[in-house]
Amino acid sequence: MKIALLTPTFVANDAVGTDMLKMAEALARPGTEVRLFADRVVAARNDVHRSDEVVAWLTDADDVLIYHHSVAWPPVIAILDALKCRRLLRYHNVTPHEFFYGISHDYMISCAKGREETSELAQMPFSGWLADSQFNKDELVALGVPAAQVQVLAPLNRTDDFLRHAPDAEFLRRFRDGRSNLLMVGRIAPNKGHAELIDAFACHVRNHDREARLLIVGKQDYRLATYRSQLLARIEFHGVGNSVIWLDNISDAQLRACYQLADAMLYLSAHEGFGVPLVEAMALSLPVVAYAAAATPETLGDAGLLWDSTDPRLYALSLQRLKQDADLRAQLVEAGLRRYREHFHPDVLAARLRDIVGIH
Amino acid sequence: MVDPVVDLQRTLAELRRLAEDLAQNAPGPVLVLPAIDPARRRYRLHELEYADGEEFVESIHRAIVKRAPSPAELLSCLDRYYRGANKVELIGELRGSAEARAIAVTITGLGMRYRLWRLARLRLLGGLFRRVACLFEIHRFFEEQKRFAQSQALRLGERDLRLQIGIDELRRKCADLAAQIAALEARGRTGSNAE
Residues contacting B193, CB < 8 A, separation 6+ = none
Tens digit of each residue's pLDDT (9 = 90 or more) over A189-221: 999 999 999 999 999 999 999 999 999 999 999
Residue-range domain boundaries for chain B: 31-121
Question: Is the minimum CB–CB distance between B84 and chain A shorter than 8 Å?
Answer: no
CA pair distance A275, A272, nearest whole angstrom: 6
Contact A54, A37 (CB under 8 A): yes
- B11/A321 CB distance under 8 A: yes
Distance between A97 CA and the closest CA of chain B, angstroms: 7
Give per-residue pLDDT as tens, A246-286: 999 899 999 999 999 999 999 999 999 999 999 999 999 99
Amino acid (one-letter) located at B139: H
At A172, the amino acid letter reads L
* Per-residue confidence band for B118, with pLDDT thresholds at 50, 70 and 90: confident
Nearest to A334 among B1, B11, B163 (CB): B1
Q: What is the mean pLDDT of chain A?
A: 95
Give the rounded percent of residues in chain A with a pLDDT score beyond 90: 92
In chain A, CATH 3.40.50.2000 covers 2-156, 160-343
Which of B11, B33, B167 has the CB atom closest to A98's CB atom? B33
pLDDT, tens digit, 9 for 90 and up, residues A20-49: 999 999 999 898 999 999 999 987 788 999
> Mean pLDDT across chain B, nearest whole number?
82
Contacts of A205 in chain B (CB under 8 A): none
Q: How deeply is A357 buried, as exposed, middle or buried, from its count of CB atoms within 10 A (0-12, 13-18, 19+)?
A: buried
Best residue of B54, B58, B180 to probe chain A, by most A CBs closer than 10 Å:
B54
The model scores a pTM over 0.95: no
Cα–Cα distance between A147 and B6 in angstroms, integer?
Answer: 36
Residues paired with residue A10 on neighbouring β-strands, in sequence order: A41
Topology of the domain covering A160-343 = Rossmann fold (3.40.50)
Secondary-structure class of domain A2-156 per CATH: alpha beta
